[in-house]
Chains A and B, each alone.
Chain A
Amino acid sequence: MKTFSISTISILKHWHRKPLQLFFALIGLSLATALWSSIQLLNSQAKNSYETAVDFLTASETEIILPLRSTSISIEVFGELRRAGWPVTPILEGKIPGQRPVTIIGIDPFTMSESRGLINKLSDEENPFQEFVLNNNFGFASEETKAYLETLSLELDISVSAQLSANIVITDISLAEKILGEQGKISRFELTAPPLKNWDFLEELDLRLVESNSLGDLEQLTKSFHLNLSAFGLLGFVVGLFIVHSTLSLAFEQRKATYMTFRSIGVPIWTVYTSALSEIVVLALMGGIIGVFLGHWLAFILFPNVASTFNNIYGINLGDQLVLSVTEVFLALLMPLLGTLLISMNFLLKLYRIAPHKLGSVVFLSKIYNNKNKIKLGSSIILISLIIILANSPLGLIKSFFIIGMTILTASILLPLVLSKILSLLASSVTIRMPLSHWFVADSAHQVNRIALSLNALMLAVAVTIGVDNMVKSFKDTFDVWLEKRLITDIYVRALDQNVAAQLIKNLRNEPMVKNIYPIVSSKSRFQNQPIDIVGFLPAEIYSKNWPLVESSEVTWERVRSGEGVLANEQFCYRHNLNVGDLIKLDSGLNSNLKIPFRIAGVYADYGNSLGQIMVKIDSYHHHFSRIPPTNFALEVPSNSFAKISDILTRNYGLVQSEIIDQSTIKELSTKIFDRTFAITSSLSDAMIIIATLTILISLITLSEIRVTNLAPLWVLGITRLTLLKLELSQFILMILFTLLFAIPTGLLICHFLTSYLNIAAFGWKLPVQYYPEIWIKTLIIASTTSILAIIFPTVLLFKNSASLMIRRYKNDA
């Protein structure tokens, strides 16, 4: 024990003598932990909120029961179902009349499983369940919705819930009936246990069992979002660890003689080993604890962007505060611990192999580098082969991430290898007659190995930024064009019920301002056990001229108009491996034993939708899927007539503003949602570049001691320090510029895998990749400016201190 304490204290004393190194090691560890833990904290907060929302909207099962032919179910059917033993709970859902589209969801707390727990989760107040059951006017809504509802003279006692999104109110079903004026009506049944097998009984009651789309949609979309964030978090963690690696490797090299001396005076290897291991654990925990706190702070900063994304896309309110649990702190500390142990494996292995009798013997660095280069080249070839094999095999989400991960790894291995090879070739071509140029190139080739990790950190950050930004911009441009083609009609109208809809069609046909009316109707169905949307539409010329088809044939629209063919969205075709011309059989919505054959006439892009979707001629739709008449319409009207039409609709048909939307409003909203979705990605890309720059700064400061040894021989020969400063700066600038150039093809490769693999696997749509040199140039300018600023400080510091450092270096050696 005494030997252990002496050896540990001697090893730890290094940090007392080198406080800057300790500071850098802790900075690296805490930054790595902070990025990782902040992302995990955001993810877990989002998941918790999302689970609460899903629990509420879908109960415990993934299937729901809907009316077969009408829009609502009578309360008597509920009694019959319960008596037959069906585990159902009724839900009444509808829009509260008013200026804003507030949805009221009425639930039955007595038949809804775990309703007590779910309701209690909605509010921090004491026993909200009791209040919910006893108070006939009680409900939950977000603060903003509560304020709006208070303007509507409704008999409602709203309790604020941070868990709910805007425009949603949860009440008891009887209160919802009263507010919606739909006494004795039910919108759907949620299942509280697995369904019974007597489906015929459902048909007798004019009901059908369908997959709830909310859970599937949310789960798939949020899973991709979490994976995206986690991938960024992990990348940030790795880049942060690069800082730690450069500091720890220097500390190891500086203490090599200490370890050897311990061994030579008889301290057992395992004691030295345990001391070194204890040091790593202490450092990792110190950095980890700081990192967890920093991470919490970072999550707090990023939270509004993430919350906004979730609210806009998934309709989930993340609440307004982040809660850090003990388990999360423990898990967050585990990452730096494992990460530091992983990056220390190299030193620990070296430590094990240190032979005391070789103290002071010559180390053939060039041989070590050559051997390592051969291993690196071999690994790169294997990795590239694996990427090619995986890229040509069936797609998958995890596999796509794996391909991107391997691309990044291969690029990291290849960067120093290619750079040192180019410099070595250059060194052999620069004549010895130009001694300083010759030294410059030869020394740069050696320098690459010393700062390889920092260069890799920069390359990764820039490549990922270029890849992601290029993908986002490609997506944005494609999305804009798609939106333009998709939203071809001028006004979209949703009638309150079928009677209003019928009246609306009849009268609008005589309205001179309305050129055309296109009804839209949809219902849920299943294809090969997966939920899909069936949309009935009028395949008019306006669609055939504009609809954004990604795959079609000469007879696409003929087939759709004849009712023989359908249009399918990209995600549907990808999931079921279907192409134009393939025959599909869809479940009839009117007879569960019947399957209707259709031929895929065309495939269209359908961004933002996670479900498969089939568009069929409206006559076929009514014939095969549902007889419910359409309540949604697209109107073709002259430009600038929105206000007039809107006025007619609200005045004559009692429609509210939220049910009449003009094309430009939807476009604006869609664009806003799009921008918000990628705001967090952009913040993380920026954070990565900052950390990479910090890695360069720290590793150069850390390496400056070693650098003095390399520059000192030139200085004593008579090369002025100003010349050395210029050479040193040029050397780093040369390496950074090469690294940045290397990052462009790597980034484009990442972009290719993101668009052609990850997007298809995660969302089901393939994006056409476009190239934006202005994005690369902008990223390169930012990265090179920050990197050059980062190298100026340590280089100038080296220049200022070089004289005394160089002399000290001689004194130490003498």
Chain B
Amino acid sequence: MSPLVKVENLSKFFESSGEIFQVFDQVNFTLEAQSSTALIGESGSGKTTLIHVLAGLEPPNSGMVIIDGIKIWNSKESMRAIFRLEKMAIIFQQYNLIPSLNVLSNITLQARLINALDEAFQYELISLLGLEKLLMKYPEEISGGQQQRVAIARAILAKPKILLADEPTGNLDNENTRKVLEAFEILSARYKTTILVATHSKSVAKKLDTKLQIESGKATKTVIR
């Protein structure tokens, strides 16, 4: 398999109160197409920042990110947005649901925006993630775990080329975590999506193909299965 994501010499630091905090330094790795990778590391190790950099949301200080042959940080901001819309889906820790839209509209939003809504898959996902009874509710009316499942459904339904997920199961019980992982497997197998999941959960990490460990600003990749 050829790499879908190629990260070269990626560095990111923050400046706070005159001090420089190095998040990662000269990181290099690749993510193969259709692969699933667990991004692991301690809290504050830079997992979320790396996902933001890969998503084209937060610029690196140096280095290069190439996704599907496109150097995303060399593109204009609007091009990055279009790339994100058409090729990527992101699951955030804070879910980022649209408060003014109900659950159903939130789930179908990205897929509809790129005219790629697969209604059969939509019902399958809603059923799999147990969201049938919540479709007409608004985000503020459902629990954190339910919101997280809605955010996951939205990302998966867009059938992206690459899925970036930041602690997608952090608020879920074992049963719901299992269902989410099943949905990831469907996405990967059926739609050949490359998946990168930042997680603290060993059980989640075990279910994925490779492991990308961030430690002391460096990344180490190991094959799990």
Contacts and interface: CB of A to CB of B under 8 A. Distances in A.
A717 B109 contact: yes
A79 interface: no
Interface in A694-742: 710, 712-722
Contact of B140 (A365, A445, A721): A365
A432 to B, nearest CB: 6
A366 B138 contact: yes
Interface string A248-291: 00000000000000000000000000000000000000000000
A668 B19 CA distance: 77
Interface stretch (A316-324, A435-443, A509-517): A435-443
A364 B82 CA distance: 33
A362 interface: yes
A771 interface: no
Interface stretch (B99-107, B178-186, B188-196): B99-107
Contact of B113 (A710, A718, A810): A718
B124 interface: no
A814 interface: yes
Interface string A651-688: 00000000000000000000000000000000000000
B140 A363 contact: yes
B162 interface: no
A720 B110 CA distance: 13
B84 A718 contact: yes
B52 A362 contact: no
Given A435-B109, A813-B94, A814-B93, A718 B85 contact: yes
A717 B77 CA distance: 13
Interface string A120-147: 0000000000000000000000000000
A526 interface: no
A719 B81 contact: yes
A445 B81 CA distance: 26
A456 to B, nearest CB: 21
A716 B57 contact: yes
Interface in B59-105: 77-78, 81-86, 88, 90, 92-94, 96-101, 104-105
A292 to B, nearest CB: 41
Given A364-B141, A807-B52, A807-B58, A719 B85 contact: yes
Interface in A784-810: 803, 806-807, 810
Contact of B78 (A442, A716, A720): A720
A446 interface: yes
Interface residues of B, number: 35
- Chain A interface size range: 20 to 34
B68 to A, nearest CB: 14
A433 interface: yes
Given A439-B100, A810-B52, A716 B92 contact: yes
Contact of B105 (A362, A438, A721, A813): A438
A719 B98 CA distance: 13
Interface in B105-140: 105, 108-110, 112-113, 138, 140
A435 B58 contact: no
B55 to A, nearest CB: 7
Contact of A445 (B82, B96, B100): B100
Nearest to B142: A362
Contacts of B105: 432, 435, 438-439, 442
Nearest to A446: B100
Contacts of B35: none
Contacts of A803: 77
Contacts of A446: 99-100
A433 B112 contact: yes
B100 A442 contact: yes
Contacts of B57: 716, 806-807, 810
Interface string B192-221: 000000000000000000000000000000
B2 interface: no
Most buried by A among B78, B88, B99, B104: B99
Contact of A715 (B81, B83, B104, B138): B81
Interface string B145-172: 0000000000000000000000000000
Given A710-B98, A720-B81, 8 more contacts: A432-B108, A443-B100, A716-B84, A716-B90, A719-B85, A720-B82, A810-B94, A814-B93
5 smallest CB-CB distances across A and B, nearest first, come from: A718-B85, A718-B84, A713-B96, A435-B112, A442-B100
6 contacts: A362-B141, A710-B100, A713-B96, A719-B81, A721-B77, A810-B94
